[in-house]
Amino acid sequence: MTEKDIDTVLSIEKRVFKHPWSREYFHLIVSDMHNYMLTLRTGADIIGYGGYHLLRNRTSFLSTRHQYDSMIHLINIAIVPQKQHSGFGTFLMNTLINKARANTAEYCYLEVRPSNDRAFSFYRKRGFSIIGVIENYYPQECENALVMGMELGPS
C-alpha cells in the first residue's frame, strides 16, 4: 500500500466498517517503516488490503509460556463486500503471515469485536485462539475487544 492507494482503500474502509479509519490515520500507517501494508488487486482494481506492525522486543502474553523476540500485530484486513467469501481474505492473510515469518516473527496477535462473527470465524479457522479481552476497546459501542493470537512457527 502506498500513499496513492489511500483514496481507494478509504472507499473500501467506509463500506466494510461502521467506524472507518481516517485518511490521516492511513497516512500515518503507510509512513511507519515498521508497518507492512498490502493491497490485494485483481487487474488494476484494489479489492482488499491488510497489514501488520512488526514489534521487535521481548514480549510475552499471560496465556502463552514463551517470550517472543519478534512478533506482529495485525493492524487490519478487509476485502471489498462483493468479493468476500471467495478465498481472497485467506490469500491475503497467508501472504501477510508468510512475510512475517520471513521477518522472523514468532507470534501474531490482533483485536476483533465479539460482534464481528465473520471476522472471528475467519481468524479461528486460520488457527487463532482467544488470548485475552480488552475492556471498552471500542468506546463508541462500549464494546470489548477479543485479543486473538497464534504462534507462527517455521515457514
Ligand X SMILES: CC(C)(COP(=O)(O)OP(=O)(O)OC[C@H]1O[C@@H](n2cnc3c(N)ncnc32)[C@H](O)[C@@H]1OP(=O)(O)O)[C@@H](O)C(=O)NCCC(=O)NCCS
Residue 54 C-alpha cell reads as 512488526
Any contact of residue 8 with ligand X (CB under 6 A)? no
Residue 48: closest CA among 90, 21, 79:
79
Stretch that binds ligand X, among 2-10, 34-42, 62-70, 118-126 (CB under 6 A): 118-126
Residue 119 C-alpha cell reads as 471476522
Q: What is the smallest separation between the CB atom of 72 and ligand X, expressed in angstroms?
A: 14
What is the distance between the alpha carbons of residues 99 and 93, in angstroms, rounded to a whole number? 10
Any contact of residue 86 with ligand X (CB under 6 A)? yes
3-state DSSP of 88-116: HHHHHHHHHHHHHHHCCCCEEEEEECCCC
Any contact of residue 21 with ligand X (CB under 6 A)? no
Instruction: State the number of binding residues for ligand X (CB under 6 A).
Output: 18
Stretch that binds ligand X, among 33-41, 85-93, 96-104, 131-139 (CB under 6 A): 85-93
Judge whether 89 and 142 are in contact, CB under 8 Å.
no
What is the distance between the alpha carbons of residues 153 and 155, in angstroms, rounded to a whole number? 7
Any contact of residue 14 with ligand X (CB under 6 A)? no
Stretch that binds ligand X, among 23-31, 61-69, 75-83, 132-140 (CB under 6 A): 75-83
C-beta of 87 vs 153, nearer to ligand X:
87
Stretch that binds ligand X, among 18-26, 28-36, 61-69, 116-124 (CB under 6 A): 116-124
Q: Which of 28, 58, 85, 133 binds ligand X (CB under 6 A)?
A: 85
The DSSP output letter for 87 is S
Our separate counts of H helices and E strands in the chain read: 4, 6
Binding site for ligand X (CB under 6 A): 16, 77-79, 84-90, 112, 116, 118-119, 121-122, 125
